Amino acid sequence: MIAPRSKALFEEAKRLLPGGVNSPVRAFRAVGGDPPVIERASGCRLFDVDGNAFIDYVGSWGPMIVGHAHPAVVKAIQEAAGLGVSYGAPTPWETELAGMVVEAIPSIEMVRFVNSGTEATMSAIRLARGVTGRDRIVKFEGCYHGHADSLLVKAGSGAMTFGVPDSLGVPADLARQTISLPYNDSDAVRAAFQSIGKEIACLIVEPVAGNMGVVPPKLGFLEALREITAAHGSLLIFDEVMTGFRLGRGGAQALYRIRPDLTCLGKIIGGGLPVGAYGGARWIMEQVAPLGKVYQAGTLSGNPLAMRAGIETLRLLEDPGLYERLEARGKQLEEGLRELAAQSGIGLQCQRVGSMFTPFFTKTEVFDYRTARAADTDRYAGFFRAMLEGGINLAPSQFEAGFLSDAHTAADIETTLVAAKTAFAALRGR
């Protein structure tokens, strides 16, 4: 479907940028073809440089919960830019946004703003190591927490082995400080902590996995993580970069009623501008410089444009009916996709929590990285291309989450399902 101007611009991008992109999934290698080059966005729609319009379910990978170019958010950014785009000094807006975060997220008493989700998780892990005096960390296969060295780690060969690098450039000695376990497997977590619990500084988890596609926690899994970490003096870190303010104002921790020691945020709290944050109990956060000895800093942290965009976005999320509308649209899409797939005789697990969703092309339950990887990626790629041809922009990988916004209407969902019916019919004919 890619049109001439997009094709030409992407070819030029490949000459100047690795793979033509600044984030790998944008290269479309998992689904084939080249991406449309986007010129503008409004509401729930993207418009490429060739004039094609797409109903968008990527939403800049999550932050655009109120829709693209929401007038109130745009106005706030414009006003902030008119006063100067960066000061390198305290501003009233970082304090205002911090207050909104502390008020909304149950476990956060103090917060530090950074520039990305990667910075947030990296800093939270450093803080956990500093507070506990321990080096090792636990993560889960399929959960992505940014590209810091300690987190680009895959599982070893045993049930509980130290991690091995998942990228060139990650020192093996550092990777060995990370233990990677199966998601939703509380028995594996217990075994790891029984073996070396005194050496584990923290366990970091996406409370609802979104980076292997949407995989909800099994009943009792998050509760077990809270119990096990507390029993061994380790910190529990919730990576809510995706789920924070998306699954409700209190994030996944409010939805599942679990209180982590540290929480990482991003995406929505900057209204689409580069942002991240980590926060937790006051006694923990007071260990961060300049109060404590855990160093972390950033020239553009608390940037006034991102703070103003975040404030305005969180104000819009105070609408009492917003999350109910998101749930209704999500249910409409999920049920519609399930029904169409069943009518076409295509195995589909459409997994959703609130306004996050992933259609897995598999007949079996998806509950961890292994079962997610069993999905038919070729079939997803065919579905993706047919949907794009029909004017629907989905995540260009089977293993990514899709996102709805408050700008999506019931009519937009119906239009999406019409395109899906055609796409399923094409798949059935193969």
213 DSSP assignment: B
Q: Give phi and psi for 220, each to the nearest 5.
A: 90, -10
3-state secondary structure of 64: coil
Contact 216, 208 (CB under 8 A): yes
Q: Give phi and psi for 178, each to the nearest 5.
A: -110, 130
**CA angle, 374 as apex, 370 and 375 as ends, to 5°?**
130
Give the DSSP H/E element, type plus range, for residue 150: none
Pull the structure tokens for residue 254.
């409010």
Rounded to whole angstroms, the Cα distance separating 351 from 140 reads 19
Q: Give phi and psi for 285, each to the nearest 5.
A: -65, -25
3-state secondary structure of 138: strand
3-state secondary structure of 121: helix
Cα Rg of the chain (Å, integer): 21
Q: What is the dihedral of CA 103, 89, 117, 155, to 10 degrees?
A: -110
**Catalytic residue positions, numbered:** 144, 239, 267
Q: Give the full edge-to-edge strand order of the sheet including 110-114.
A: 110-114, 276-280, 262-266, 235-239, 200-205, 136-140, 178-181
Rounded to whole angstroms, the Cα distance separating 214 from 229 reads 24
Contact 219, 184 (CB under 8 A): no
Contact 92, 86 (CB under 8 A): no
Which residues in 37-97 belong to E strands, given as ranges? 38-42, 45-48, 53-56
3-state secondary structure of 421: helix
Q: Give phi and psi for 29, each to the nearest 5.
A: -65, -25
DSSP string of 4-37?
Answer: HHHHHHHHHHHHHSGGG-SSGGGG-TTT-S-PPP
Rounded to whole angstroms, the Cα distance separating 219 from 258 reads 12
